[in-house]
Amino acid sequence: MLEVNGLRVSYGGIQAVRGITFHVNEGEMVALIGANGAGKSSTLRALSRLLDPAGGSVRYRGKELLALPPHRLVGEGIALVPEGRGVFPRMSSLENLRMGAYARNNKTEIEGDLEQVLGHFPRLKERAQQLAGTLSGGEQQMLAIGRALMSKPRLLLLDEPSMGLAPIMVQKIFEVIRAVASAGMTILLVEQNAKLALEVSQRGYVMESGEITLTDESKKLLTDPKVRACYLGE
């Protein structure tokens, strides 16, 4: 579904992503793990066209994504849940969710998906009228994921959904991520919480200083001595 080749991202003189190559198969959940500053978010920002990469190619369902204008991505079925969530703070939870569906026009389908998202996150149903900016961090993360799901994506890009959240919240959010994945959605999951990411994904890539240094099935990475030492704190 997604084939990234030699992707490079630079910020002025800083090379944040140094020609990485990886792929995500349809229906797969793939984890991209790495320490602070490894270039994970920069990779997702390039894939979702929030920034122009310095080089490389990104083929998505047979098309060159980098040739498309950024506003076409939602229509192509790509949704990003950015680091820091990016909810619209002065809109209610419900309005945020509806915004996620702005490019769609089948009202019946949208209402059905809204019910499904509120079913995944009952907390958001209780907080439907509350301004998103006043939600707790965990609730905002739920909202950001819910809003992305409302665009009915084929490919969901998640940037650190567990960041800064209490274990119980992380558990709830990952239950939904698992459910959505089992229903067939393709997911690229960026996480600093390597253990969690490798437990839920099928394959993983390890990123270090802008390069991919290791890749394997997630269950093998979980037992890899280097991964255990550097990313699992063992």
Ligand X SMILES: Nc1ncnc2c1ncn2[C@@H]1O[C@H](COP(=O)(O)OP(=O)(O)OP(=O)(O)O)[C@@H](O)[C@H]1O
36 binds, among Mg ion, ligand X, none (CB under 5 to 8 A by kind): ligand X
Least Cβ distance, residue 194 to ligand X (angstroms): 11
Site mask, ligand X, residues 162-201, x = CB under 6 A?
------------------------------x---------
41 near Mg ion, rule: CB under 5 A: yes
From 34-42, 60-68, 140-148, 216-224, give the range in contact with ligand X by CB under 6 A.
34-42
- Interface with ligand X, residue 204, by CB under 6 A: no
Distance CA 113, CA 143 (A): 14
159 burial via Cβ count (<10 Å: 0-12, 13-18, 19+): buried
For residue 27, report the phi and psi dihedrals to the nearest 5 degrees.
85, 0
Piece of the chain touching ligand X by CB under 6 A; list 11-19, 54-62, 90-98, 105-113? 11-19
User: Which of 14, 168 has the CB closer to ligand X?
Assistant: 14
Q: How far is the CB of 14 from ligand X (least distance, A)?
A: 5
Q: At 185, is the secondary structure helix, strand, or coil?
A: coil
Helix (H) or strand (E) holding 197: helix 194-200
Question: Of 171, 176, 175, 205, which is closest to residue 189 (Cα–Cα)?
Answer: 205
